[in-house]
Amino acid sequence: MAYSILAYIHSSKPKGISATYALDQMRSIYKVDIESKKDKIQFSKTVTLKKDQKTILKTLGL
């Protein structure tokens, strides 16, 4: 994902976002998927995003 963000920022040059800053901010985002095949339960959780992280994702259209 980091390479995709870097390539997108490099090619589209969104206003106000540098690749280094975006990658640094996005570093702490993660998603956890848990599945119990025995009980057939699936659960997914994404950590709460910070304001700058939300702005970067919105600017990149993600």
In the block, tokens 């994702």 appear at 57
What's the total number of domains in the chain?
Answer: 1
* pLDDT in single tens digits along all 62 residues of the chain: 677 777 777 777 777 778 788 888 877 888 889 998 888 899 888 787 888 888 888 887 77
How many whole angstroms separate alpha carbon 34 and alpha carbon 54? 24
Instruction: Kindly report whether the global pTM for this prediction surpasses the value 0.75.
Output: no
Structural domain harbouring 24: 2-59
pLDDT at 11: 78
